[in-house]
Amino acid sequence: MTGLLPEANVISFARGIPSPDMFPVALLAESARRAVCDHGRVALNYGPPGGYEPLREWLGKRHGVAPGRVLVLPGSLIGLNLVVEHLLRPGGRAIVEAPTYDRMLHTLTAVGADVVTVDRGGDGLDLDRLRDLASGSPRPKLLYVLPTFHNPTGTSLTLDQRHGLVDVALEHELLLFEDDAYGLLRIEGDALPNVAELLRARGGDDLAVFSSSFSKSVAPGLRVGYLVVPERLVEPLEALATRTYVSPPLLPQAQLYDFLAAGHLEPHLDVLRTFLRPRRDTLLDVLAQRMPPGAAWTRPDGGYFLWLELPTAIDAADLNRRARDAGVQFVPGEGFFRDDRGRNAARLAFSYPSVDEILTGAERLTALVREELDR
């Protein structure tokens, strides 16, 4: 893949981007028109660092916090960067999961943070290790977790594990940063409470940072993400935001607010569920039918990704290089770790290709794995 979009003839399980068929184009067009025509006097101007006020109010209500604690940002990655910049430059310890979202690893490395990891495996998070790290020295300034539809594995923590996380955060006054970029995209099963919500309900309001985005659930081109932060972080993060980009773009925020206030989100999420489910199921079916023994993979209840562990003899980065010629691509697992794990793993995103492409792409991939084992 050379740019943001997959090359022709190459079926890409690589990018965690939505298919353009997932965008609610007509509704967003109406919302854009109303944002400009009815609210342009505000939305076309510079705005406050916390974002478009009606959207902050809408989100504050949704999360049960004062609107002043919601920072609406040009994408949620900016929120990760602002929090890391504020808490961890210069240095300081951060705990992340292994594996974890690769861009967060880059961000932490860029500020010189001391990054330590807790394993996120089939049984969830290693809470004993987390407890040791949380009580150890130096004291960690941040724990970064993706409890729901984790990037890259697609897995979710159970309710017990969520409470376990809250216990550790409360015991050790550990600031917990929950990245929930995919949480709205549940394909099956019952929704679980966010960890930040549980933490707040159990008296840890001051320890909970929640991040989410409308990139995966509405459209990434809007660049609307947000943070819900403890009161004490509002001012420093707003100051940092102002220094970084003067003003958030209010127009897409006003457009999105119009879409949300008109009640379009829930019906749209239903559409996305029916869109993503056959894609996930097709991928799972082909893997079950054609992957050779020695491979294992996750079965996500939502989100964009599943995580494939190839037979140990296979190097996923090598395989991915050969896969391009065979017309399929994925993300090798090693980039999601701090250490040398993940070499035989791959992240497969099922959000972009069509069902037919997934069928063909997964057949190409499984054939390659078989060939590789035969070599």
Ligand X SMILES: Cc1ncc(COP(=O)(O)O)c(C=O)c1O
**Amino acid found at 148:** T
| Nearer Cβ to ligand X (58/304) | 304
Determine the Cα–Cα distance for residues 38 and 290; give it in Å rounded to an integer: 55
CB 17 within 8 A of CB 329: no
Binding mask 163-182 for ligand X (x = CB under 6 A): ----------------x-x-
| Nearer Cβ to ligand X (125/314) | 125
SS3 label, residue 210: strand
CB 252 within 8 A of CB 34: no
Binding mask 100-129 for ligand X (x = CB under 6 A): -x----------------------------
The one-character DSSP state at 138 is: S
Q: Are strands 296-297 and 305-309 parallel, antiparallel or unpaired?
A: antiparallel
Locate 97 and state its tokens. 């999961």
Determine the Cα–Cα distance for residues 292 and 60; give it in Å rounded to an integer: 49
| Nearer Cβ to ligand X (347/364) | 347
SS3 label, residue 72: strand
Q: Does 18 bind ligand X (CB under 6 A)?
A: no
Long-range contacts of 38-43 (CB under 8 A, 24+ apart): 39/254, 39/258, 42/250, 42/254, 43/250, 43/251, 43/253, 43/254, 43/255
Choosing from 124, 225, 248, 342, the residue that interacts with ligand X (CB under 6 A) is 225
| Nearer Cβ to ligand X (58/182) | 182
Locate 229 and state its tokens. 């932060």
Choosing from 156, 213, 217, 253, the residue that interacts with ligand X (CB under 6 A) is 213
Single out the segment in contact with ligand X by CB under 6 A; choices: 44-52, 75-83, 131-139, 275-283: 75-83
Q: Does 142 bind ligand X (CB under 6 A)?
A: no
Single out the segment in contact with ligand X by CB under 6 A; choices: 72-80, 90-98, 114-122, 227-235: 72-80
Site of tokens 């660049």: 223
Single out the segment in contact with ligand X by CB under 6 A; choices: 39-47, 74-82, 239-247, 361-369: 74-82
Locate 34 and state its tokens. 């109303």
Binding mask 19-58 for ligand X (x = CB under 6 A): ----------------------------------------
Other beta carbons within 10 angstroms of residue 36's beta carbon come to 14
Single out the segment in contact with ligand X by CB under 6 A; choices: 71-79, 91-99, 194-202, 310-318: 71-79
Q: What is the size of the binding site for ligand X (CB under 6 A)?
A: 13
Q: CB 75 → ligand X: shortest distance, Å? A: 3
Locate 194 and state its tokens. 């966010």
Q: CB 305 → ligand X: shortest distance, Å? A: 9
Q: Does 81 bind ligand X (CB under 6 A)?
A: no
Choosing from 95, 146, 209, 272, the residue that interacts with ligand X (CB under 6 A) is 146
CB 249 within 8 A of CB 74: yes
CA distance readout (Å), 36 to 56, 218, 294, 317, 326? 19, 19, 56, 47, 47
CB 186 within 8 A of CB 218: no
Single out the segment in contact with ligand X by CB under 6 A; choices: 28-36, 213-221, 332-340, 347-355: 213-221
Chain residues that interact with ligand X, rule: CB under 6 A: 16, 75-77, 101, 146, 151, 179, 181, 213, 215, 220, 225
